[in-house]
């Protein structure tokens, strides 16, 4: 069988963790998928998958081969695009990820504009409050807030955000305005685990921080819910500056302890470097970077 076909079938099985689901995805019969995997394992001389009556799991060799195969197939697709000249007209699927609120507020307008401009492109947008692995999960473009570890990914800095403490004017009128991080121990704390998962908050410069171990009365996994709670006057919350920009402008929230804030966190657009550079990825990144660098809440 053709090597590329075998690799494509293996990627489908590895990602779906099911022969039947891979067969549906590839528009093949289950028997054809089974034959392809058997032929690939025989060709390589190694077991890639562990099959039981209930599920399919990758072996250690299978996990490594899945990562390598994804990259190879992606490079082949991009080489085909370049040779066919479609770099002049973006087409195909583009996958994008960002955190929930950031994706909704900043990335979604770019996606809509991009789709209107390029009718042959489809976008899969994953707005999640967790770190998505671009290579393992096959993502083309990501927006990441925070300092980045060394990696093979290319990063374009587009702005910065601050971690801010805020509360409603009504809450501060009832309970007073904290003057020092230690004063937080006497206040009602709302914790947004997507932004500040630890109950120990750090303030000030990195080389001389002030640490405060808070005891939240409310902990939520949704930043939206945390914002609603503090706007309603429940207490004090630590959030990213862009998340509360509208509430601050409208006067529904006020920033406190601004003199004790940590240094701002960078905002970067990440993508996997490619020898050929898919036109849909390049064009979307150009649009996204221009939009974010000009945004008042990030600069």
Q: Taking residues 253-266, what's their average pLDDT?
A: 93
Q: What percent of the chain has pLDDT over 70?
A: 92
**CA–CA distance from 6 to each of 41, 81, 270 (Å)?**
10, 21, 30
Nearest of 299, 292, 296 to residue 102 by alpha carbon: 292
Please give the Cα distance from 87 to 93 (Å, whole number).
14
Mean pLDDT over each residue of the chain, to the nearest integer: 87
Residue-wise pLDDT for 119-142, tens only, equals 999 999 999 888 877 877 778 999
Q: What is the CA radius of gyration of the chain?
A: 24
Q: Taking residues 278-287, what's their average pLDDT?
A: 89
Q: Taking residues 247-251, what's their average pLDDT?
A: 95
| Per-residue model confidence (pLDDT) at position 152 | 66
Please give the Cα distance from 167 to 226 (Å, whole number).
11
**CATH number 3.10.450.50 is the correct assignment for the domain at 87-155+267-293:** no
Please give the Cα distance from 211 to 204 (Å, whole number).
9
**CATH number 3.40.605.10 is the correct assignment for the domain at 3-84:** no
CA torsion, points 175, 195, 239, 154, in degrees to nearest 10? 160
The domains of the chain are located at 3-84, 87-155+267-293, 163-260
**CATH number 3.40.190.10 is the correct assignment for the domain at 163-260:** yes
Asked, colleague to colleague, whether 3-84 and 163-260 share their fold, the answer is no
Confidence class of residue 84 from pLDDT cuts 50, 70 and 90? Answer: low
* Least confident segment among 99-113, 173-187, 196-210, 212-226: 196-210
């Amino acid at each position: 069988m053709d090597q590329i076909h075998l690799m494509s079938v293996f990627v489908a099985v590895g990602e779906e963790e099911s022969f039947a689901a891979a067969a549906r995805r590839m528009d093949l019969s289950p028997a054809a998928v089974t034959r392809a995997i058997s032929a690939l394992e025989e060709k390589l001389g190694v077991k890639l998958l562990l099959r039981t009556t209930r599920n399919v799991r990758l072996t250690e060799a299978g996990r490594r081969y899945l990562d390598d195969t994804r990259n190879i197939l992606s490079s082949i697709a991009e080489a085909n695009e370049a040779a066919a000249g479609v770099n002049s007209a973006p087409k195909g699927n583009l996958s994008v990820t960002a955190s929930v609120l950031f994706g909704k507020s900043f990335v979604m307008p770019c996606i809509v504009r991009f789709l209107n401009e390029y009718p042959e492109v489809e976008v899969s947008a994953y707005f999640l409050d967790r770190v998505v692995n671009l290579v393992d999960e096959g993502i083309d473009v990501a927006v990441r807030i925070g300092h980045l570890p060394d990696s093979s990914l290319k990063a374009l800095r587009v702005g910065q955000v601050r971690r801010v403490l805020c509360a409603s004017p009504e809450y501060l009128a009832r309970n007073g305005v904290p003057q020092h991080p230690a004063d937080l121990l006497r206040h009602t704390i709302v914790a947004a685990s997507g932004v500040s998962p630890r109950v120990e908050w750090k303030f000030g410069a990195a080389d001389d921080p002030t640490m405060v171990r808070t005891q939240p009365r409310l902990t939520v996994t949704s930043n939206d819910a945390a914002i609603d709670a503090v706007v309603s006057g429940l207490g004090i919350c630590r959030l990213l500056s862009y998340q509360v920009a509208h509430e601050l402008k409208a006067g529904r929230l006020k920033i406190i302890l601004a003199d004790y804030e940590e240094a701002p966190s960078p905002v970067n657009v990440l993508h996997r470097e490619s020898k050929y550079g898919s036109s849909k990825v390049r064009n979307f990144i150009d649009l996204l970077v221009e939009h974010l660098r000009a945004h008042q809440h990030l600069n």
